[in-house]
Chain A
Amino acid sequence: MLDKSELTRYNRQLVIPDFGEEGQRKLKDSRVVIVGMGGLGCASATYLTAAGVGHITVVDFDTVELSDLNRQILYWEEDVGEKKVIAAQRKLSKLNPLIQITPVSTKITEENALSLIDKAQVVVDGLDNSATRLIVNSACVKQKMAYIYGGVSRLRGMITTIIPGKTPCLACLSPEGVGGLGVLGVTPAIIANLQALEAIKLLIGHSPSLAGKLLLFNGDDMKFQLLEIKRNESCPVCSPLYTG
């Protein structure tokens, strides 16, 4: 049940056909984990909070640095030196005090990944390296939990929605490439908002648009490309879901 304050706050999305009060109630009852609270995580957390996702867990071990402020829009100069998840919780709770934000300040490892994503319906990627993404991918496959990969560098970004048992997982695709190439601040915001849109679709029971598809964003030429990606039938991570 939505109260008067919620009906007012979410009015603009309640009037959308196929969303309505039922969609809003589903969001309110939802649990999302955002792994990594950098440029991607800050933007997706902001919009998922504003949309009214009932419980958001934000995970990051790091503290805010001055060099983060070109893209990590939840942190301001006064937050430099503070734990990212604490600063994020404070800002997000001010944006929408009707939802619950749980900050978890820890590094994601193979040992803790399963417990960190426990009880979530969707895991949204805000990470900044391949190794941790592959750990999260593996945990999501084990839990059969949706994982929305997003990654950026410079003016480029990409996103795919991984539904274990249905789509390729990240390990299927033998992902290659290097990090640390630099990021223009708006690039993660673009990709993260697409991730948030995919998350909302999943949470309200709509079909995600990027399951089994890889969307490439090229900000140099302002182009989007949509590619259909293939599952690796001998993938060491997800093939047991198909054979067992």
Chain B
Amino acid sequence: MLSIVMPWLYAPWPEAREKGIIEMEIDGDTLRALLAGLSARYKAANVDFQPINPTTNDLDFDYDVLVNDKNYVVLAGSLDAKLKDDDNVKVKILWRWDG
């Protein structure tokens, strides 16, 4: 089982709130499949969390992703990098600081 670290965002469906973890199956073994699966799970809970931008088909400018503390862009295949069972995936939101 891999773990997803996303401490800033609630998973608003009851099982996640009760257990404190998100359990889901994903259609594929890549980072892209994981993010798409997360997005679909949130969408089912009426939360528009869309880390993959549908226009660019790449990670959206509002997010960044680390796999085992390495930025996804340095992984072979980047978003299409294969994930392993014990990987740790951190999804970060990039805050806006300009005014």
A interface residue numbers (CB < 8 A to B): 36, 38-41, 125-130, 133, 150-154, 156-158, 173-183, 188, 214, 216, 218, 220-221, 223, 225-230, 232
* A174 in contact with B97 given A216-B62, A221-B55 (CB within 8 Å): no
Give 29 CB contacts A-B under 8 Å: A125-B99, A126-B99, A127-B97, A128-B97, A128-B98, A129-B97, A130-B95, A130-B97, A151-B96, A151-B97, A152-B99, A154-B61, A156-B62, A158-B62, A158-B96, A173-B95, A177-B94, A179-B97, A188-B99, A214-B93, A216-B62, A221-B55, A227-B9, A227-B47, A228-B9, A228-B12, A229-B10, A230-B7, A230-B9
CA distance A235 to B94 in the complex (A): 19
Closest to B54 in A: A221
CA distance A178 to B92 in the complex (A): 13
CB <8 Å contact, B7 and A158: no
A-B pairs with the 7 shortest C-beta distances?
A: A151-B96, A179-B97, A177-B94, A128-B99, A38-B99, A175-B95, A177-B95
| Interface flag for B23 (CB, 8 Å) | no
| Interface flag for B48 (CB, 8 Å) | yes
Query: Which one of B61, B94, B95, B99 has the greatest number of beta carbons of chain A within 10 Å?
Result: B99
Within 8 A of A (CB), among B34-57: 47-50, 53, 55
CB <8 Å contact, B98 and A181: yes
CB <8 Å contact, B96 and A177: yes
* A153 in contact with B10 given A225-B50, A227-B49, A228-B47 (CB within 8 Å): no
Residues of A within 8 A of B60 (CB): 218
* A153 in contact with B98 given A174-B7, A228-B9, A230-B10 (CB within 8 Å): yes
Q: A177-B93, A179-B97 are in contact. List 17 more A-B contacts (CB 8 A).
A: A40-B99, A152-B96, A152-B99, A154-B61, A156-B61, A158-B62, A158-B96, A214-B93, A220-B55, A221-B55, A225-B48, A226-B47, A227-B47, A228-B12, A230-B8, A230-B9, A230-B10
Residues of B within 8 A of A174 (CB): 7-8
Within 8 A of A (CB), among B43-98: 47-50, 53, 55, 60-62, 64, 92-98
CA distance A64 to B84 in the complex (A): 53
Residues of B within 8 A of A232 (CB): 7
* A127 in contact with B9 given A176-B92, A221-B55 (CB within 8 Å): no
Smallest beta-carbon distance A60→chain B, Å:
10
Residues of A within 8 A of B8 (CB): 173-174, 214, 229-230
CA distance A177 to B48 in the complex (A): 21
Smallest beta-carbon distance A229→chain B, Å:
6
Residues of A within 8 A of B47 (CB): 226-228
Smallest beta-carbon distance A132→chain B, Å:
10
CA distance A150 to B99 in the complex (A): 8
Query: Which one of B12, B48, B62, B95 has the greatest number of beta carbons of chain A within 10 Å?
Result: B95
CB <8 Å contact, B99 and A225: no
Smallest beta-carbon distance A123→chain B, Å:
14
CA distance A159 to B8 in the complex (A): 14
CB <8 Å contact, B9 and A179: no
Smallest beta-carbon distance A136→chain B, Å:
12
